[in-house]
Structure 1
Amino acid sequence: MTPPTPVPPARRTVGPAARAVERATAALGRLLHPAGRSFTGEVTIWGTPGPPTGVALLDDPGRYAATVRLSRGTPTPGGWPDVLGLAVRVHSPTGRPFDLLVSSSGAAPVLRNLPLPRRGFTGTYSTITCYRLGRRRLWLAALADPDSVDLGRTLAAVAAAARTDAPRVVLAVASAVGPWRPVGQVSIGAPLDAGEDGALAFDPVRNLPPELRAAGPLAWLREQTYRGSRRARGARAQSGGSTATV
């Protein structure tokens, strides 16, 4: 009988840890951003000012259908300071979506790596952790559009703004210490109904342009968290839906 293949020490350590995180997340369901509103949307890419990023979806002008979700990080009452979230699914013509998840943060280089609580949904959102593009690191952000309607402090206010106007945020890229460079915009459209909202699934680990990969010290933990949450729902990707109205 062929002896079993020995498991390397690193795999013996990482495997049980990954399974523990997965089980914990599956048991608790979605830990963060449980309350949110989802919308149709459109992403317009203008192209990258200055040197190209190397990501075709960001460098080449284009227009794409999108799904957008704004959310609160924890079940705090509406209007209280919270880490707010913005999720954008870009429906690319290749058939492989790009799921961009960003959290409320500061705009300065030292603050773009930190999730920062705030009261209003209008402001800076960043990816917090970086992406790898070859040997380079890249951060993405959604910045406030000064010409757009204010999104307000509650999810109900966000929905009201979407019904009366077409709120927009500006997409931008940056290096670790460089300034944000606008590359396009996201327009928020009609609210989705509760069924569509509840069935939404975002996955920022799997759904990336082919040139990018998730990186940084939290990348592994994020992957395990999303995997556990998928198991909790019996879904193929991370849930992005709720019917909360705060």
Structure 2
Amino acid sequence: MPARHRYAIAAAPVLVERASAALARLRGARLLHPAGRTFAGGVTIWGTPGPPTGVALLDSPGRFPATVRFSKGMPTPASWPDVLGLAVRLHRGDGERPFDLLVSSSAAAPLLRHLPLPRRRFAGTYSSIMSYRTGHRRLWFAALAAPGSPDLGRSLAEVAEATADAPWLVLAVASAVGRWRPFGQVTIGRRDAREDAALAFDPVGNLPAELRAVGPLARLRDASYRGSRRARGASPVS
């Protein structure tokens, strides 16, 4: 590879971080998914069906408090399609960093789970889009609509109203083309009293030790989130 190409690849994350910080300052809010609602919640891990993933947090049953955030990407008016976001921070305690799982509206099919797809309703499939590596395997994560769970509506206000009926979503993992394997659930509780704008996620740094985000998308996403957090003076572990 020519030296100029190597330099361009190495410089891209730095440029993305600087541009993200500048745009976040200009907007006075998050660069990505600025409009959202934050809730207290819980994550129940059942354990991974079939072959273990190699990530102890996913393969062993457990219960954890969680912070859950629904958001709109643009945001568009309530009746318009948008790339919808779901962020789940699993609080592990004992001084360990949280696990931040960020997923976007997508489709469940293998060829479409890697693409963010705009839609109108908050209920539906959310995929990590970004891939993760554990050992020699690549994984993708999803949050799936749970049968019998209350509908989440079309707007953030309707999502907030729906939490009175304690909606929940199924967490699942898959390979690039494999079927989704459910391993747990997210229960959405009361509205979190904290200021939504102060909450900051780190989908690349806040991961279990056995898991790491990989690929060009992970590097650019890491840079854009760093720049946005820096512009807001926000901490990814609060």
- CA–CA separation in structure 1 for the residues paired with 2:15 and 2:134: 30
Q: Which residue of 2 aligns with 1:146?
A: 147
Normalised to the residue count of structure 2, the TM-score between the two structures is: 0.91
Q: Which residue of 1 aligns with 2:14?
A: 19
Q: Which residue of 2 aligns with 1:65?
A: 65
Q: Report whether the alignment pairs 1:226 with 2:221.
A: no
Q: Which residue of 2 aligns with 1:136?
A: 137
For the residue of structure 2 that corresponds to 1:218, the secondary structure is helix
Q: Which residue of 2 aligns with 1:51?
A: 51
Equivalent position amino acid for 2:12 in 1: A
Q: Deviations over 1:79-110 (max 9, x none)?
A: 21111000000001342100000000000100
Q: Deviations over 1:195-226 (max 9, x none)?
A: 43222111101000000000123111111101
Percent identical among aligned pairs is 70
2:42/2:64 contact within 8 Å kept: yes
- CA–CA separation in structure 2 for the residues paired with 1:137 and 1:218: 14
RMSD: 1.8
For the residue of structure 1 that corresponds to 2:66, the secondary structure is strand
> Where does structure 1 lack aligned partners over 5 or more consecutive residues?
1-7, 240-246
Post-superposition shift, 1:171? 0.3
For the residue of structure 2 that corresponds to 1:51, the secondary structure is coil
- CA–CA separation in structure 2 for the residues paired with 1:58 and 1:16: 35
Post-superposition shift, 1:59? 0.5
Post-superposition shift, 1:237? 2.6
For the residue of structure 2 that corresponds to 1:39, the secondary structure is strand
Q: Which residue of 2 aligns with 1:99?
A: 100
For the residue of structure 2 that corresponds to 1:80, the secondary structure is coil
Moved more, 16-25 or 49-58: 16-25
2:54/2:135 contact within 8 Å kept: no
For the residue of structure 1 that corresponds to 2:172, the secondary structure is strand
Q: Which residue of 2 aligns with 1:109?
A: 110
Moved more, 17-26 or 220-229: 17-26
1:226/1:237 contact within 8 Å kept: no
Moved more, 14-23 or 148-157: 14-23
- Report matched runs for 1:1-246 at 5 Å: 12-14=7-9, 16-29=11-24, 30-94=30-94, 95-162=96-163, 164-193=164-193, 195-237=194-236
1:103/1:127 contact within 8 Å kept: yes
- CA–CA separation in structure 2 for the residues paired with 1:32 and 1:152: 21
For the residue of structure 2 that corresponds to 1:161, the secondary structure is helix
- CA–CA separation in structure 2 for the residues paired with 1:55 and 1:18: 28
Equivalent position amino acid for 2:45 in 1: I
For the residue of structure 2 that corresponds to 1:63, the secondary structure is strand
- CA–CA separation in structure 1 for the residues paired with 2:135 and 2:121: 36
1:46/1:61 contact within 8 Å kept: yes
Post-superposition shift, 1:31? 2.5
Moved more, 54-63 or 226-235: 226-235
Post-superposition shift, 1:19? 2.7
For the residue of structure 2 that corresponds to 1:20, the secondary structure is helix
Normalised to the residue count of structure 1, the TM-score between the two structures is: 0.88
Post-superposition shift, 1:144? 0.2
Moved more, 93-102 or 144-153: 93-102
For the residue of structure 2 that corresponds to 1:85, the secondary structure is strand
Larger Rg: 1
Post-superposition shift, 1:12? 4.7
- CA–CA separation in structure 2 for the residues paired with 1:138 and 1:93: 25
